[in-house]
A and B are shown apart, each in its own frame.
Chain A
Amino acid sequence: MQKIRFFCRGQAVASLFNRFNWLQIMRTSAIIFMILSGLTQLLIAAPGRGQDRIRKNISLDYHNAAFTTVVKAIEQKSGLIIMYELTPAIENQRLTLAIKDHSVADALDLLVTGRKLRWSLDQSENIVRLERIDEQHPGTSTPAATEQPPNISGIIKDALGHPLAGATIAIRNSKTSTTSNAEGFFTIPAKEGDVLICTYVSCEPRFIRVSSDMQRTASLGEIVLTQAPSGLDEMVIIAYGTTTRRLSTGSVSTVSGEDVRRQPVSNVLETLEGKAPGLFISQSNGSPGSQMNISIRGQMSIASGKLPLFIIDGVPFAETPINQLGGSSYGQQGAAGPIDPMNSINPSDIESISILKDADATAIYGSRGANGVILITTRRGKAGAARFDLFASTGAGKPTHTMPMLDKDQYLQMRHAAFANDNASPTLSNAPDLLLWDTTKSTNFYRRFIGNSAHQTELTGSFSGGDQRLRYLFSNTFRHQGTVYPGDYSYNRYSSHLSIDNTSLDGRFGISATAIYTKENNNQSLGDMTGQIFNLPPDYPLYNANGTLNWTGGIVNPLANLLKSSLFNSDNLLANTSLRYTVLPGLNARVSLGYNKINQSITTLNPLKSINPNTTTQSSANYSSNYVESYIVEPQLDYAKTLGKGRLTATVGGTWQQSNFVQPYSVSATGFSNDNLMSSWIAASTITFKTSSYTSYKYASGFARINYTWMDRYLLTLTGRRDGSSRFGPDHRWGNFGSVGGGWIFTSEPWMKRAAPVLSYGKLRASYGTIGNDQIADYGYLSTYSTYWYSYGGASIYPSRIANPNYGWETSRKIDAALETGFLKDRILLNVNWFTSRTGNQLISSPLAAQTGFNIFQANLPALLESTGWEFELKTTNIKQKDLVWTSTFNLTIPRNKLLSFPGLSRTAYAYTYIVGKPINNYNGYHFTGLTNGVATVEDFNKDGKITPGLQQTQNGDYYMIGTSSPKFYGGLSSSLQYRQFQLDVLFQFVKQLKAGFRQANPTTPGFMANQDSHILSDGFQPTVTAGSTAAYAYSNYYLLSDASYSDASFIRLKNVSLTYDLPAKWLQPAKIRSAGVFLRGQNLLTITSYFGFDPETAGTALPPLRQVVAGIHCSL
């Protein structure tokens, strides 16, 4: 019944690729090929040639290497001979030298800088001499100490615009050097023509020749140092600060803006699938705007919120569909279902995303971080000449896969067999498909209703630039995305992003401001068409002979659904201002002010022309508006100081946040005089329901974090936070959370270098901490009255909630341990991470005896849930040459959860779902034992002669635990290949999981008037037309509730392929174009799965994710 199938079907997009043989090759060997690529190391040394060796570009990547080793490497790569006569003191020095495509001269400069050395090239240009700078050989650029040139200043920053403290700035061939302060600011006496060498651990060095302009203004401007090739020292954004992978004590994964932009999708969360270990994301529907399911390291909470905390540019972001936050009525939904608020963040505005996972990384978020934290940082302007960037792309998408159904003849055969089996005669009421409709004609409903191409177009223009004091970025994006449905449906998004950074002349005062405004307009059919058409009888005629809609057979005519509509509008304004003042060197005072308002309104219309005239004669419509508004104020003090052989950084701060969830209105109305007057309920004859609501949430806390790094070897982070949330009763509002994290870079130990030279980097780290969860409804602790729907001759109110002022935080205790290693000069980086989290004091709607007057109230239950697992991450640099760089990243997560204890479980509503000692998210059901004469049978586990629903473990019946809905493991493999002007990026995603199969989504008994999957007859089910017949009863009460109706929904998906070609600079220079190129991107190109159903990610009868192919250009002026 289930075979491996490849989701490459004869559809337009796929046929584009089918012409190429490489796809065929890829299908068969893609996986093996890619996995091998992640493991294989190809070390190809650059060949040396030519006379101008000193100007040749080389790359070096040495960390804590012996001086002689580095010298040898330069010799080898340059083809030069380096002669030197040095003291043992210098020779025994260990140094770090990592450069990418820099000249040999630069490399030599770096080698000598700070070592009281100078180098010179002999006349043969084959030999380099290293000499000591001493009285006899003064530096050529520093003739005498008598005439000190005037000071010149500058600021050192990283690529993200963060100041780099402790960078070294030296003047070539001189003893003069200095280091930058906490703001990256430095001054150095230098004159025109001097070459400044700016170095920073893990960064590519920069060489700056002091120009006359610089001399005149005494300013070097902003000097941006980019990361060295090793990923270990990339800047990692964490809570209230930054760190590097090398020095981090917490578990943090990052995804760069580049990786996000490469995927031609509307929701940034979709681009994170398969990208980060510990982060599991799945799409719920292929329509634009649909909601994403997100979890970090599995489920921590039984009943309260399971979402991570989202922070965008320091502003907390409500990731729950807004109409589910404040409103009391959800109303109808469009084809995409609940709208994911993250759609209102434009992916191309994103600079980086950090996923904080363990206690060390998240404890500073106190009560909100139990489910992990996702930090999104948007792009900022960079110093340099003003530039204008333009991106334009266009493309189309189709569903990845549809479910093969019985064709018309097979269907009719099934129907006739069903009547024959039951000795029944078809009548006009039970078999219009056999008696009334034209059985010679059939319709391909997939092609008719979900077969269109969903076109998309995206246009981004951004303007950025600035200098060391003022930088700006202004970017605008327009995105249009159509749907696969027939008709004029589309998703349109306009987003605008402005960011400004300003630093005072002396560098002590800084201000950064960001504003994002997004307007979304999503016009969809009412309800997902996929679920409405997949099982229509193939001979069902959409129209009657007279051209009117066919309503016979009790079938909702899908054309009617196309006449209904759902219009979703959203505005999102997110603004953040952060101010910084350097009180003393090393001490910064900051305050961050944020505001976010997301307003979503949904109007759904059921006009009269879309309604079956036999059922009702009333048109109806729903109108709702919801918004969430958040304010946040975060004062903060940072202190950094070198203390002994280490470095201390401390942060103290506070947070005050208020969020209001408001539903200005939600109105249902019927009886419009005219279908064209439905845009407002004013024209309705009856308001059947109306409501509005308002709730408020406030949150305040103080936090402190101390981080100490000793000898770049021993790392310690302590975090504490005291939190107050208005969601708890007055006596239980405050909670204390904290964590301790430590790390040991054992490869920095001298003995380790001798013991395992192949190991270039090794760190052990561990953390422990407690984090809380307050994702519950507001005001739960108050006893309240609400308006009763039924007035009693006057306004009526009734007690709507029983008071429980006694509940408090749900608390997770988390342990995290990891081994991080780097081999072969960090060309292979392997991280192994183990985590466990125990969440107790579970916030649950606790059942009450009805005699109290209520059935439930919010309470803490002593249930203890454990989430544990392993994460693996492997980053490799497979090839690194001047023209060819190939890197790969592989990640794998194996999560598990288990209900450790649940006192009183049998007395709660969870008694029929959970088993102590087993995972939650479990599927329970019968064990299918096959068909007897076409009738499904299941196992009578408790041998009582009856088949009873309910778990055998709890003596309730014959169910057993079939599996769980959470994945067994998941991960991704991405690979990036750069060859000259070409760049190819490939991303595979894989998931091992179990999901409900197609037949659960299509529960009609075989033989009834609904189409079935193409396997139903060959599987041997006995078709029947009689409700309650033995076969029908067994199908719906045994088979569909059994393990046989679940399917292995594991898949490997070629999630993304991106090919970019940059035009050579020499072509562009005449046209004064900075850079330009073209790109081709594909999403969800290939899926390998044995899932029995539409798509293993969306499952059910939701519209599968789209396979999209997009082509575009970019240009930078």
Chain B
Amino acid sequence: MKQRSLIYLTALTGLFLSACNKLIEIGTPQNQLVTASVFTDTVTAESAVLGMYSKLANGYLGTDPGTATSLFNGLSADEGYHFSYTFYDDFKNNSLTPATFYLGTYWSGFYNIIYTANSLIQGDSASPSLPAPYKARTIGEAKFVRAVCYFYLVNEYGAVPLVLTPDVNISNTQPRDSATKVYDQIEKDLTDALNVLPASLSYYSGNRTRATTWAANALLARTCLYRNKWSQAAAAATAVINNPGLFSINPDLTKVFLANNSEGILQFVNALTFSWMATNLGTSATAVTPNFVLSDSLYASFETNDLRKTSWVGIKSYGNTNYPFPNKYRYNGGGSVEYAQLLRMSEQYLIRAEANTRLGNFSAAAADLNTVRSRAGLTNTTANDKPSLIAAIEHESRTEFFCEWGHRWLDLKRWPGVNNPAMTRADEVLSAAKGSQWQSTDALYPIPQQERNINPNLTQNPGYN
């Protein structure tokens, strides 16, 4: 009797155990969203899209791509030096090591945004409830953001792992993919995106802060230019330029970096209470010392009467010396006054000018060049053949885009040498400027050592060990 009841009870307990998975169901956390639930309605999905942009726009130094790229690349090229922090001298002296701290965060910052984009593409694609047009557009935005990240990664580091999935089991050990493969993916993503992204700013309440078909075209123009695909570059730039109702060269230099000014093709909302761009590159009126100081060669390269020299360059006097500094971003209070501007109109003119020069359309090239020059209060260029136009474009790019998203650094690295086309323009210019500190291998930043420790499949760039 007793034994029997014991057996029954044991059996009951067994049944209880087998059915108790439900007992430990905790549902989903209440202050976090499980990834799958994000993509069930457009309101939540929209938050994820905004979060992707916000990550791209608002990190901290080293992961905030705009400021980090502008600062690091400006130092690596010949744009100047950092007055306050000798720490940055490793960039200026092209003496980076795989252990240099900010390189690791710069790298991981981009990949974190890429994950966000990949997660969004996967979540949207798998969602049964999101409307198809909404999915298409937001996938286009994610692809655009992914292209932006890979554009900088491939330019800074050369070959990089091309991660296109949020699955860490795949991505954790992925080796580097060739620069060509990465570029092909950038072109593909941009081409995919420009077909589905809106052609009007009305989707975004007139704001220039999210990807449009024009932003995709503009980045595609730059990508094709970097890949020496001249006619595609010119065509894509033309597509953007032919929208005078939307985008135009802003005649007032002091307004070029303001939020939603007419020159902006794609800007990033600043949600911080301060501005990384203004605090790291610019210098506030109350500060005693400057931060980023323009190199003598850059400061000297401005033509007389160049309005940019007075409008976009400030002077900080300290200890009987005048230090020129980049004064493009002036508002340190953050918020919605100035936005970091990834793509703006004058670049499209210069892209088309360069493409046309390479294609032999010198007068068209000179005309585009003059569009930019005239806004700076300069007379038309006298350049009229390939060498002179190339030199004029290099000069114009330097004075137009200094301390802005690494334009100078990336241009120098992709251009062939003027005197010796076998080497790069960077080798010519920077060895002249920096002497023995410059080696050709400095053109690519080292793969962060931390990453190579964790993923042994990552090879190092030449010149670093």
Please list the residues of chain A having a beta carbon within 8 angstroms of any beta carbon in chain B: 328, 583-584, 586-587, 637, 639, 641, 650, 652, 654, 656, 692-700, 702, 704, 722, 724-726, 733-734, 778-779, 782-788, 790-804, 847-855, 857, 906-907, 911
CB within 8 Å for A692 and B269 given contacts A586-B2, A797-B38 = no
Within B372-419, the residues touching A (CB, 8 Å) are none
What residues of A have a CB within 8 angstroms of the CB of B172 in the complex?
848-849, 851-852
CB within 8 Å for A907 and B453 given contacts A656-B23, A784-B32, A798-B48 = yes
The yes or no answer to B76 lying at the interface (CB within 8 A) is no
The yes or no answer to B29 lying at the interface (CB within 8 A) is yes
What residues of B have a CB within 8 angstroms of the CB of A734 in the complex?
21
The yes or no answer to B33 lying at the interface (CB within 8 A) is yes
What residues of B have a CB within 8 angstroms of the CB of A637 in the complex?
9
Is B16 touching A702 in the complex (CB atoms < 8 A)? yes
Within B185-212, the residues touching A (CB, 8 Å) are 207, 209
The yes or no answer to B287 lying at the interface (CB within 8 A) is no
Within B133-176, the residues touching A (CB, 8 Å) are 160-161, 163, 166, 168, 171-174
- Least distance between A663 CB and chain B CB atoms (Å): 9
What residues of B have a CB within 8 angstroms of the CB of A852 in the complex?
111, 115, 163, 168, 171-172
Cβ 8 A contact of B34, one of A724, A784, A793, A850: A784
What residues of A have a CB within 8 angstroms of the CB of B10 in the complex?
652, 704
Contact with A along B240-268 (1 / 0, CB 8 A): 00000000000000000000000000000
Pairs across A and B, CB under 8 Å, 15 listed: A704-B10, A779-B29, A783-B166, A785-B33, A788-B51, A790-B54, A790-B272, A794-B47, A794-B50, A796-B51, A799-B119, A849-B454, A850-B104, A851-B455, A907-B456
Cα distance A704–B57 when bound, in Å?
57
Cα distance A587–B8 when bound, in Å?
13
Q: Which residue of B lies closest to A700 (CB)?
A: B23
The yes or no answer to B320 lying at the interface (CB within 8 A) is no
CB within 8 Å for A785 and B111 given contacts A779-B29, A849-B451, A853-B171 = no
Q: Which residue of B lies closest to A800 (CB)?
A: B32
Q: Which residue of A lies closest to B114 (CB)?
A: A853
Contact with A along B85-120 (1 / 0, CB 8 A): 000000000000000000010011001101110110
Contact with A along B263-286 (1 / 0, CB 8 A): 000000101100000000000000
Q: Which residue of A lies closest to B1 (CB)?
A: A584
The yes or no answer to B52 lying at the interface (CB within 8 A) is yes
Cα distance A936–B10 when bound, in Å?
71
Size category of the binding interface on chain B: 35 or more
What residues of A have a CB within 8 angstroms of the CB of B161 in the complex?
851
Is B23 touching A724 in the complex (CB atoms < 8 A)? yes
- With contacts A790-B272, A850-B112, A853-B115 known, what are 10 further pairs, Cβ within 8 A? A692-B31, A696-B29, A700-B24, A779-B28, A788-B51, A791-B271, A796-B50, A849-B451, A851-B171, A855-B108
Cα distance A790–B111 when bound, in Å?
19
Cα distance A906–B47 when bound, in Å?
39
- Least distance between B163 CB and chain A CB atoms (Å): 6
Cα distance A724–B51 when bound, in Å?
35
Is B54 touching A788 in the complex (CB atoms < 8 A)? yes
Cβ 8 A contact of B269, one of A641, A792, A911: A792
- Least distance between B265 CB and chain A CB atoms (Å): 17
Q: Which residue of A lies closest to B46 (CB)?
A: A794
Q: Which residue of B lies closest to A784 (CB)?
A: B32
CB within 8 Å for A803 and B35 given contacts A724-B21, A849-B172, A851-B451 = yes
Is B26 touching A698 in the complex (CB atoms < 8 A)? yes
Is A797 touching B51 in the complex (CB atoms < 8 A)? yes
Within B25-73, the residues touching A (CB, 8 Å) are 25-35, 38, 44, 46-48, 50-55, 57-58
- Least distance between B351 CB and chain A CB atoms (Å): 28
CB within 8 Å for A587 and B5 given contacts A698-B26, A700-B23 = yes
Which of the listed residues A779, A793, A796, A911 has the most CB atoms from chain B within 10 Å of its own CB?
A796
What residues of A have a CB within 8 angstroms of the CB of B32 in the complex?
779, 782, 784-786, 800-801
What residues of B have a CB within 8 angstroms of the CB of A641 in the complex?
2
What residues of A have a CB within 8 angstroms of the CB of B453 in the complex?
906-907, 911
Cα distance A847–B46 when bound, in Å?
30
CB within 8 Å for A726 and B26 given contacts A785-B33, A851-B163, A853-B116 = yes
- Least distance between A951 CB and chain B CB atoms (Å): 15
Is A783 touching B54 in the complex (CB atoms < 8 A)? no
Cα distance A857–B172 when bound, in Å?
11
Which 6 pairs show the lowest CB-CB distances between chains A and B?
A: A853-B115, A850-B108, A790-B271, A700-B23, A849-B455, A796-B51
Is B28 touching A639 in the complex (CB atoms < 8 A)? no
Is B2 touching A724 in the complex (CB atoms < 8 A)? no
Cα distance A849–B54 when bound, in Å?
23
Is B25 touching A698 in the complex (CB atoms < 8 A)? yes
The yes or no answer to B300 lying at the interface (CB within 8 A) is no
Q: Which residue of B lies closest to A654 (CB)?
A: B16
- Least distance between A807 CB and chain B CB atoms (Å): 13
Is B20 touching A700 in the complex (CB atoms < 8 A)? yes
Cα distance A797–B453 when bound, in Å?
31
CB within 8 Å for A793 and B269 given contacts A700-B23, A854-B115, A907-B453 = yes
The yes or no answer to B432 lying at the interface (CB within 8 A) is no
The yes or no answer to B17 lying at the interface (CB within 8 A) is yes
What residues of B have a CB within 8 angstroms of the CB of A801 in the complex?
32
- Least distance between A625 CB and chain B CB atoms (Å): 15
What residues of A have a CB within 8 angstroms of the CB of B57 in the complex?
790, 792
Cα distance A220–B238 when bound, in Å?
106
Is A793 touching B209 in the complex (CB atoms < 8 A)? yes
Is A798 touching B26 in the complex (CB atoms < 8 A)? no
What residues of A have a CB within 8 angstroms of the CB of B173 in the complex?
849
- Least distance between A742 CB and chain B CB atoms (Å): 23
The yes or no answer to B322 lying at the interface (CB within 8 A) is no
- Least distance between B122 CB and chain A CB atoms (Å): 10
Cα distance A692–B32 when bound, in Å?
11
Cα distance A891–B127 when bound, in Å?
64
CB within 8 Å for A694 and B116 given contacts A725-B24, A847-B454 = no
Is A796 touching B171 in the complex (CB atoms < 8 A)? no
Is A724 touching B20 in the complex (CB atoms < 8 A)? yes
Cβ 8 A contact of B33, one of A722, A784, A794, A796: A784
What residues of B have a CB within 8 angstroms of the CB of A790 in the complex?
54, 57-58, 271-272
What residues of A have a CB within 8 angstroms of the CB of B422 in the complex?
none
Is B454 touching A907 in the complex (CB atoms < 8 A)? yes
Q: Which residue of A lies closest to B22 (CB)?
A: A700
Cα distance A584–B1 when bound, in Å?
10
Cα distance A587–B14 when bound, in Å?
19
Is A795 touching B26 in the complex (CB atoms < 8 A)? no
Is B29 touching A784 in the complex (CB atoms < 8 A)? yes
Cα distance A834–B376 when bound, in Å?
84
Cα distance A702–B17 when bound, in Å?
6
Cα distance A441–B257 when bound, in Å?
59
What residues of A have a CB within 8 angstroms of the CB of B16 in the complex?
654, 702
CB within 8 Å for A793 and B50 given contacts A639-B6, A692-B31 = yes
What residues of B have a CB within 8 angstroms of the CB of A911 in the complex?
453
Cα distance A783–B57 when bound, in Å?
23
What residues of A have a CB within 8 angstroms of the CB of B455 in the complex?
849, 851
The yes or no answer to B13 lying at the interface (CB within 8 A) is yes
Cα distance A793–B50 when bound, in Å?
8
Is B24 touching A699 in the complex (CB atoms < 8 A)? yes
CB within 8 Å for A799 and B451 given contacts A699-B24, A782-B28, A788-B55 = no
Cβ 8 A contact of B168, one of A695, A787, A794, A857: A857
Q: Which residue of B lies closest to A695 (CB)?
A: B29
What residues of A have a CB within 8 angstroms of the CB of B20 in the complex?
654, 656, 700, 702, 724
- Least distance between A372 CB and chain B CB atoms (Å): 24
- Least distance between B38 CB and chain A CB atoms (Å): 5
- Least distance between A333 CB and chain B CB atoms (Å): 23
What residues of B have a CB within 8 angstroms of the CB of A650 in the complex?
6
Is A796 touching B54 in the complex (CB atoms < 8 A)? yes
What residues of A have a CB within 8 angstroms of the CB of B54 in the complex?
788, 790-792, 796, 798
- Least distance between A756 CB and chain B CB atoms (Å): 41
Which of the listed residues B23, B114, B166, B173 has the most CB atoms from chain A within 10 Å of its own CB?
B23
